[in-house]
Amino acid sequence: MNAATPQRRRRRSIFGQLTAASILIAVLAVAVLFAVTLLTVQRQTRASLSATVSTDLAGLIDIYATAGREELLQRVNDRQAVVSLEGRRSHYLVADGAGRPLAGDIAKWPPLDAARSEQGFLALSDGTKVYAQGARLAPGLQLLVAREYERDSAAQTMLSGAFLGVGAAIVAAVALVAWLTARHLARRMDAVNAALGAAADGRSARFPARSRGGDEIDEIAAHGTRLLARKAQLLKAYKQVSEHVAHEVRTPLMHLDNRLASAMQERPEAPGGPLGQARDEIRSIAAMLDSLLDIASAESRRGDLAGLAELDLSALARSLAELYEGSAEDAGLLLETAIAPGVTMLGERMQITRLLSNLLDNAIKYVPEGGTIRLSVGPGPRIVVEDDGPGIPHDQRSRIFERFSRVTAPADPEGPEKPGHGLGLALSKAIAERHGMILHLGDSPRGAKFILEPAP
Amino acid sequence: MSNLNILYVEDDPRAAEAVRSLLDADGDRLAWEQTGTGGLQRAGAEPFDVIILDRMLPDIDGLTIVSRLRAAGVGTPVLMLSALGRSENRIEGLEAGVDDYLAKPYEPPELVARLRALHRRAAGAVHGAVIIYGAFECHVKARTAFRSGRHIPLSPREFALFRYFMENAGETVTREMLLRDVWNMNFDPQTNVVDVNIGRLRRKLEDGFSSPALETIWGAGYRLTRGE
């Protein structure tokens, strides 16, 4: 297929990125909120445990201070069965100075310094997890009060579970809303994009109608519509001007030509007479005007796919080769072809025919007798017209595609002027570019080598 | 050669006068309308063999006239005669439904030849397996050519050319018709490529005979003789 068709790469959609970002933000927000809540709850639990344990401890110290050691031991044994209102089971230990138990249900003094009234979370020897605080009552007597906090842990686990559930629901909701919004926006954007792409390729384009809100996408679409209208208007104006120029120049030329034709009828002259020459010149002026307008027209439609159709380049090249074979032979030249079958391209048949005719005409015009012209067509499409004639002098290579530039052969500077206006290659180049292709000179040991291939 | 009944829609009286004198000399009847509206009405009301249409008319654009005629079911062949002669303009014309497109300034004999060719094409002449004209014979299936009973060896493309001349025997065939119908090309390179090919066919058809086979009609094209 033709390489002039623009390849559309799948781009990364900003809407996909926005959806991903929304989900990420929702996940992060839920996680931070969860962490903060959990820390607060944990701190609160600890403060509450600390207060409970301290109060209990203070009460027992008070009992010891007022009622003495025996009363304390008695009370400690009584209290062991008590479960607090918060559901926290209590444990106690009254021990001597070396930590040996005297009363209570805790078997062993934990690593808490009673002299400094240390408190903290710890595990008892039977594995029960508690919050405990120790106190030194007398040099040979120390007291430990502990509270289980299993209920508080369970509450925290429930909180975590609730957070995870609600968090997941929030993230899912955000994802759904973001995806739906993004999909809606992406569809509208795609419609605008498709219209812009079509407009750029010169195909018929229609921008989507305004949505209810009239947002930024609507603005882009509105600008696109205005741009299209402006482009159409410019093209129309250009066409009108060129048509009027052509009409206004050609009409008087035609009248002049008619008069010359009548004059020739009244006074017939031999072929090559002045009236015949004048008529030829009139045709030449009209042809030059047409070529200039054709160049302008091809340049104005560069990259425009409108009006292009699939054409069988191989068949066209074979037909042209057959048409030119005789002319080449008459000029003492050999026209060789290497045409791969089934090469097609998107093109304007008349224009491509014209381009190839120009190249073949040039070769026949400039290659001296005994030379060879070679026309090859390959996939790509790549078309090469090369010859073994005098070639293009190096100092002229850069400007042969300019308007009105004529090649002067170095071998034959005084040679007869070749007919033409020097517009053929400029037109060929413009036609190539109008098809998204380039026409350039290839390197060749001798002769000229014109290559037509898709623009890089 | 039958005379044609032709409608010419053209706002420029001088251009119209030139065509009138040309067709009068040929024995054809010309009806002239100066406006697009008038032309459209007349084309719908009267039967014509061929319509010649200027493209830039003051009231309705020539392309629009063709489209409207075609939409209304008028199939009369239309030749657009226009000062807009660039390939782009031709394509626009052909796409609008024009059958042939001739740019001003034109060669008068070419206009006549094209009008006749359009009429012939519309009449849809059917040719048999063997076409005979004067001393020439064209065996379409066998792809062989004879003149006065003598076989003339032709290359495939030369045979296609010969056959085209036989199918249009006695009529003027223009370069553009040959390019279009024999080489399947809708562009005239404006060089002598067609003439060179005709020259080669002519040499083969005339080799060993004293009378010409193809005559050149100046400004228009070529015509096959009876070869007798």
Query: Quick one: pLDDT band at residue B151, thresholds 50, 70, 90?
Result: very high
Is residue A116 domain-shared with residue A252, that is, in the same domain?
no
Q: What is the mean pLDDT of chain A?
A: 86
Per-residue model confidence (pLDDT) at position A81 = 65
Whether the link from the prior residue into A381 is cis, omega within 30° of 0, is yes
Q: Which structure tokens are listed for B195?
A: 């003439």
pLDDT at A313 over 90: yes
Region of B24 (left: φ > 0; alpha: ψ -120 to 50; beta: rest) is alpha
User: Does the residue A176 lie in any domain?
Assistant: no
Is residue A113 domain-shared with residue A131, that is, in the same domain?
yes
Mutate to test the interface with A, among B190, B200, B203, B218 (most CBs of A within 10 A): B190
For range B165-176, the mean pLDDT: 89
A159 class by beta-carbon count within 10 Å (0-12 exposed, 13-18 middle, 19+ buried): middle
pLDDT at B46 over 80: yes
User: Does the residue A181 lie in any domain?
Assistant: no
pLDDT at A8 over 60: no
Q: Which structure tokens are listed for B124?
A: 């849809």
Which CATH number goes with the domain that contains B46? Answer: 3.40.50.2300
Per-residue model confidence (pLDDT) at position A418 = 62
- Residue B142 contacts A, CB cutoff 8 Å: no
CA neighbor of B88 nearest in space, from A302, A344, A293, A432: A293
Is residue B79 domain-shared with residue B154, that is, in the same domain?
no
Strand order from edge to edge, sheet including A334-339? A334-339, A372-378, A382-387, A449-454, A437-441
Q: How far is A389 from chain B (nearest CA, A)?
A: 20
Is residue A277 domain-shared with residue A314, that is, in the same domain?
no
For range A167-173, the mean pLDDT: 90
What is the Rg, in whole angstroms, of the alpha carbon atoms belonging to chain A?
49
In tens, the pLDDT along A79-98 reads: 876 666 667 788 899 998 88
Per-residue model confidence (pLDDT) at position A1 = 40
Domain boundary among B96, B123, B150: B123
Query: Quick one: pLDDT band at residue B171, thresholds 50, 70, 90?
Result: confident
More reliable by pLDDT, A372 or A414: A372
Is residue B43 domain-shared with residue B104, that is, in the same domain?
yes
Q: Which DSSP string corresponds to B118-138?
A: HHHHHHT----SEEEETTEEE
- Residue B211 contacts A, CB cutoff 8 Å: no
**Residue A259 structural domain:** 216-300
- Residue B84 contacts A, CB cutoff 8 Å: yes
- Residue A309 contacts B, CB cutoff 8 Å: no
Is residue B35 domain-shared with residue B138, that is, in the same domain?
no
**Residue B180 structural domain:** 130-224
Helix or strand holding residue A454 (H, E): strand A449-454
Q: What is the mean pLDDT of chain B?
A: 89
pLDDT at B89 over 50: yes
How far is Cα A370 from Cα A331, in angstroms, rounded to an integer? 8
How far is Cα B5 from Cα B46, in angstroms, rounded to an integer? 10
| Number of other CB atoms surrounding residue A205 within 10 Å | 18
- Quick one: chain B helix, strand, coil %, rounded to 5? 40, 20, 35
Domain boundary among A137, A154, A171: A154
Distance from chain centroid for Cα A217: 18
Distance from chain centroid for Cα B154: 25
Q: Is B146 helix (H, G, I), strand (E, B) or coil?
A: strand
Is residue A317 domain-shared with residue A420, that is, in the same domain?
yes
How far is Cα A443 from Cα A66, in angstroms, rounded to an integer? 117
Domain boundary among A300, A322, A357: A300
Q: How many residues does chain B have?
A: 228
Is residue B19 domain-shared with residue B96, that is, in the same domain?
yes
Per-residue model confidence (pLDDT) at position A215 = 85
Read off φ and ψ for residue A7, nearest 5 degrees: -85, 125
Domain count, chain A: 3
Please judge whether B187 and A250 are an interchain contact, meaning their C-beta atoms are less than 8 angstroms apart. no
Q: Which structure tokens are listed for A379?
A: 């996939």
Task: Tell me which DSSP letter residue B207 carries.
Answer: T
Is residue A355 domain-shared with residue A406, that is, in the same domain?
yes
Domain boundary among B100, B123, B146: B123
How far is Cα A204 from Cα A213, in angstroms, rounded to an integer? 27
For range A385-407, the mean pLDDT: 86
Name every chain A residue with its beta carbon within 8 A of the beta carbon of B159. Answer: none
Domain boundary among B123, B150, B177: B123
pLDDT at B36 over 80: yes
Is residue A121 domain-shared with residue A47, that is, in the same domain?
yes
pLDDT at A372 over 60: yes
- Residue B102 contacts A, CB cutoff 8 Å: no
Query: Quick one: pLDDT band at residue A456, thresholds 50, 70, 90?
Result: confident
Q: Which residue of A has its CA nearest to B14?
A: A255
User: Does the residue A4 lie in any domain?
Assistant: no
For range B78-102, the mean pLDDT: 89
Is residue A359 domain-shared with residue A296, that is, in the same domain?
no
Is residue A432 domain-shared with residue A313, that is, in the same domain?
yes
Query: Quick one: pLDDT band at residue B228, thresholds 50, 70, 90?
Result: confident
Question: Side-chain half-sphere of A294: how many Cα atoms within 13 Å?
Answer: 30
Per-residue model confidence (pLDDT) at position A169 = 92
Is residue A450 domain-shared with residue A401, that is, in the same domain?
yes
Is residue B171 domain-shared with residue B84, that is, in the same domain?
no
Contacting B residues, span 112-141, partner chain A, CB-CB under 8 Å: none
Name every chain B residue with its beta carbon within 8 A of the beta carbon of A246. Answer: 83-86
Is residue B182 domain-shared with residue B75, that is, in the same domain?
no
Query: Quick one: pLDDT band at residue B150, thresholds 50, 70, 90?
Result: very high
- Residues A259, A260, A265: CA angle, nearest 5 degrees: 95
Please judge whether B88 and A294 are an interchain contact, meaning their C-beta atoms are less than 8 angstroms apart. yes
Strands annotated E in A97-140? 101-104, 119-123, 129-138
How far is Cα B218 from Cα A279, in angstroms, rounded to an integer? 13
In tens, the pLDDT along A95-120 reads: 988 888 888 888 888 888 888 888 99
Select, from the ranges A163-167, A341-345, A418-422, the one with the highest average predicted confidence (pLDDT). A341-345
User: Does the residue A83 lie in any domain?
Assistant: yes
Is residue A255 domain-shared with residue A321, that is, in the same domain?
no
Is residue A296 domain-shared with residue A318, that is, in the same domain?
no
**Cα B18 to Cα A232, A255, A321, A425, B14, distances in angstroms:** 38, 9, 39, 36, 6
Is residue B200 domain-shared with residue B114, that is, in the same domain?
no
Domain count, chain B: 2
**pTM (2 decimals)?**
0.69
The three-state (H, E, C) secondary structure of A254-271, written as one string:
HHHHHHHHHHHHHCCCCC
Using CA atoms of A34, A37, A39, A43 in order, give the dihedral in degrees to the nearest 10.
Answer: -160
Is residue B13 domain-shared with residue B116, that is, in the same domain?
yes
Is residue A323 domain-shared with residue A249, that is, in the same domain?
no
Per-residue model confidence (pLDDT) at position A6 = 42
How far is Cα B68 from Cα A364, in angstroms, rounded to an integer? 45
Task: Tell me which DSSP letter residue A397 carries.
Answer: G
